[in-house]
Amino acid sequence: MSPKGRPEGESAPKRVSAEGSPVSRSNRDVLLVVLVLAIAGAGYWIWERFFSHGAQIDAMHQACLTEFSAGKDRVKSEIDRGAASVPRNDPAARIVRDISAGLGKAIDEFAGSVGEAACGTLRDACTLDFDGQACRKARERYQSS
């Protein structure tokens, strides 16, 4: 028997944390640091993804493009409705349908180009001066979108 009352060859009992698991203080500190870094990283990612100036600018740009697309679709539906109102047996019906299809394609291309240009200009203006008048107006317009 050893002087501490343990049989020969038996090691000292392991220290056990309050929860009952054998975790040393240094391991607990490392885990705490890793946890704090993970929470900070997640917070940074959430900020950059949803609340930063860049995220707000991207959201406004997408809302602007969506608005242009909706306007384009309204105009095309009006053209299609007008073409559909011409009776099929009317001699000009085929010409009206062809013109309607041509106008639809032209509107798609034009609205896409103009939408990209206008919304891209908005994005660039906000990137350069987030607190400028153009960007403030865009934030007001697309905030609820």
Q: Backbone phi, then psi, for 26, in 5-degree steps?
A: -70, -40
Q: What is the pLDDT of residue 5?
A: 63
Q: What is the pLDDT of residue 6?
A: 62
Measured CA to CA in angstroms, residue 91 lies from 22, 88, 96, 144 at distances of 91, 8, 10, 48
Amino acid code (one letter) for 4? K
pLDDT, tens digit (0-9, with 9 covering 90-100), for 88-124? 888 888 898 889 889 989 998 888 889 899 999 999 9
Q: Where are the domains of the chain?
A: 16-51, 52-142
Biggest alpha carbon distance in the chain? 117
Measured CA to CA in angstroms, residue 139 lies from 21, 35, 69, 113, 142 at distances of 53, 36, 19, 22, 5
Half-sphere exposure in the Cβ direction for 128 (13 Å, CA): 9
Q: What is the pLDDT of residue 84?
A: 86
Query: Do residues 38 and 88 touch, judged by C-beta distance below 8 A?
Result: no
- Low-confidence stretches of the chain (pLDDT < 70) are 1-23, 49-50, 144-145
Please tell me what DSSP assigns to residue 7: P
Q: What is the pLDDT of residue 111?
A: 86
Q: What is the pLDDT of residue 128?
A: 93
